């Protein structure tokens, strides 16, 4: 019984460690973006779930998402995916300075309930890629 509790404690510790590493990696990415500011690059950021309950390791908490969007709104030029593509097509591949595109994979409900109000308030466009077979279901994606 002691071994089982020790195994569970170790698993919990490793999961927490991994989640903290992923959070630090997210902040390091934003720091990298800030340092590269001014470069003529198109940056596309991908999110999955925004909320307090982790569906999987690529979830971001609402408060952290808010901080990230505030950062991007102040230091970058958020553009829609369509604007980014049109800019690349019409300028011969030249990228818009400080452009950033926000995307969401899978189309979780919390993209609308948690992320959308923040994006709307800050005037940040975003693209959501839905998984058609999961619309209007309670099924969780297998990743």
For 31-76, write each residue's pLDDT tens digit.
776 666 555 567 899 998 899 876 666 789 999 999 999 999 999 9
> Average pLDDT of 107-118?
93
Q: ∠ at Cα 79 (77, 82), nearest 5°?
A: 155
Check residue 138 and give its pLDDT: 78
Residue 124: pLDDT over 60 = yes
CA distances from 98 to 73, 123, 126 (A): 11, 16, 16
3-state secondary structure of 46: strand
pTM over 0.85? The answer is: no
Residue 95: count of CB within 10 angstroms of its CB = 15
Q: Where do the DSSP E strands lie in the chain?
A: 43-47, 77-78, 99-106, 126-130
Cα–Cα distance between 130 and 143 in angstroms, integer? 15
């Amino acid at each position: 019984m002691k071994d089982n509790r020790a195994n569970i404690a170790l698993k919990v510790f490793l999961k927490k460690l991994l989640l903290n590493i992923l959070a630090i990696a997210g902040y390091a990415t934003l720091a990298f973006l800030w340092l590269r500011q001014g470069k003529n690059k198109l940056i596309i950021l991908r999110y999955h779930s925004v909320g307090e309950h982790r569906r999987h390791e690529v979830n971001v908490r609402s408060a952290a998402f808010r901080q990230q969007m505030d950062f991007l709104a102040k230091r970058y030029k958020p553009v829609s995916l369509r604007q980014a593509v049109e800019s690349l097509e019409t300028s011969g591949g030249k990228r818009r300075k400080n452009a950033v595109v926000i995307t969401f994979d899978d189309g979780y409900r919390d993209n609308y309930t948690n992320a959308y109000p923040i994006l709307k308030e800050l005037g940040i466009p975003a693209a959501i890629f839905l998984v058609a077979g999961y619309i209007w279901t309670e099924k969780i994606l297998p990743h």
